Structure 1
């Protein structure tokens, strides 16, 4: 098996108009911008895509529009995670019908499941789709970490579980995922979920990143990834140091989906920054702080 998902795969913001409907024009502009920037794939309906604030019908609408608009120019991943197994299976079936290339599934984020229940949950999902599955580990939001030992059990039983988005702020966790799972199954993709873990993930033998900055600063993460592939480590480190400022943005608000959209607009994309409640518009004071961070990273003047 080959490694299907690697490089820079931005978790794309979902663009809404003022009436909270999908803004197809704005969404199309953002997709075109990212593909032209040289991304290795696009991930729709992740945390930054505001999936958790949407109905199933809204999620299907976004997934269908995005997949059709990308039109096979790059691989498309659809976030289908949720709190109920049946709903995830339904969303996976829809993702397959619309032509997505894979799905990304976060573990349930209301109950903390026993390990056997979580194994059965992912097992039932894997058995009910032909699509490649990337697990999505985000313990800060789910309250439950997905350990390398647990992932190894899943991968051994279900060959369509082909990777993981590691949204963890510890290099040790990513290192163990690479050494315990990827070393045994080289096709398994280990992708950092936080910007500032891209460099060390690559250095440890991982595959890339699925991080929010891909929406507004793809040249930094793509630049690091390409420089690393070309063994131009000086350039990779220089870009890594610029990228290091960006995680400061995500502390400005919670959920930080508004921050990402404002940053995208500040970089020159004429998009709506409307967010779904309970997220709210970013205050003018916080917009000023955001602009300062982008200046320090050399992204705006």
Structure 2
């Protein structure tokens, strides 16, 4: 179980390698975990949006969580995604993750439907009450079209086992407000979900980041955090700027293929994206290689 002081640093939402039948590839997933742990990350988040959670049925989600928990083996906390459209399905996933030994849950706002604030509050409250695990809320309004407002977050942060929020939004003012309204709650942390805003979130008092680029360049993302925490603000800023071209490359293909393609290019074989998503074009793969060469990730 996650201790609040361990909710910090860099957590990659790890990509999920799949086989030809689009089922979880156990060895591939272990290789991804080894790669990011070697990069010094502070936690591992399985079944995030970069992990194509939406493409995996319950059995495959369960398999991904179990493999991750067993392979990480207590070295860092494991956050398991428990995200779905309905409250009932999220509770089922939450209880599965708890049983599998995850340290915490990460729960996205529902997608496709448009709950009001009261409905969203009741949704997250019911999930939190269904498990002993700490819950990290996950705001990603671009993808789900639902947004956790600042006033809603103030209410949710009072629920005992809701311990933080990851904001994957380009609305940086909202992240700052999240931090401001929760700064007196000792058991609540705010993390950046946008890889452009890691340094900025730390500067305002955030606790770290859930960064998709940390799949590919874990050492560089960890460098932003470590240097910032050591007071080397210039070094941290430099590392943040160095990361931007990799984050800009998200537009080279349909989300979330780009991090998978980068992993394949650097030699961590993760296979194909789940259809209908397809690999980047040859032309874009060449551009990705240039970015990866500039980061010394390939020769």
Q: TM-score range by the shorter chain?
A: over 0.9
Question: Residue 299 of structure 1: CA displacement?
Answer: 3.9
C-alpha separation in 1, matches of 2:111 and 2:5: 28
Task: Give SS of 2:80's match.
Answer: strand
The residue aligned with 1:32 is 34
Aligned to 2:178: 177
In the TM superposition, what is the alpha-carbon distance from 1:105 to its structure 2 partner?
Answer: 0.3
Are the aligned partners of 1:44 and 1:79 in contact in 2 as well (CA < 8 Å)?
A: yes
CA distance in 2, matches of 1:293, 1:168: 24
1:221-243 CA-to-partner distances (Å, cap 9, x unmatched) read 10010001110112112111101
Contact 1:245/1:296 (CA < 8 Å) preserved in 2? no
Match of 1:264 in 2: 263
Instruction: Describe the superposition over 1:120-164 as per-residue Cα deviations: whole angstroms up to 9, x where unpaired.
Output: 1111111111100000000001112111211110122x1100011
Distance in 2 (CA, whole Å) between partners of 1:291 and 1:36 is 22
Which residue of the partner structure matches residue 291 of structure 1?
A: 289
1:132-143 superposed matches below 5 A = 132-143=134-145
C-alpha displacement of 1:298? 5.0
Which consecutive residues of structure 2, in runs of 5 or more, have no partner in the other structure? none
User: 1:24-103, aligned counterparts within 5 Å?
Assistant: 24-103=26-105
From 273, 279, 282, the counterpart of 2:280: 282
Alignment partner of 1:104: what SS?
A: strand
Give 1:129-208 correspondences, 5 Å limit.
129-156=131-158, 158-181=159-182, 183-208=183-208
- C-alpha distance in 2, partners of 1:51/1:220? 25
Asked if the contact 2:163/2:188 (under 8 Å) is kept, the reply is yes
Quote the offset at 1:279 in angstroms: 1.3
Matches of 1:169 and 1:247, distance apart in 2 = 13
Aligned length: 297
- Comparing 219-228 and 289-298, the one that deviates more: 289-298
Q: Deviations over 1:152-206 (max 9, x none)?
A: 10122x110001110011221111110012x121331211111111000000000
Quote the residue 1:118 is aligned against.
120
Q: Deviations over 1:200-226 (max 9, x none)?
A: 000000011101111110111100100
* Superposed CA offset, 1:52-81 (max 9, x none): 111112111111111111111110000011
TM-score by length of structure 2 reads 0.95
State the 4+ residue runs in structure 1 displaced beyond 6 angstroms: none
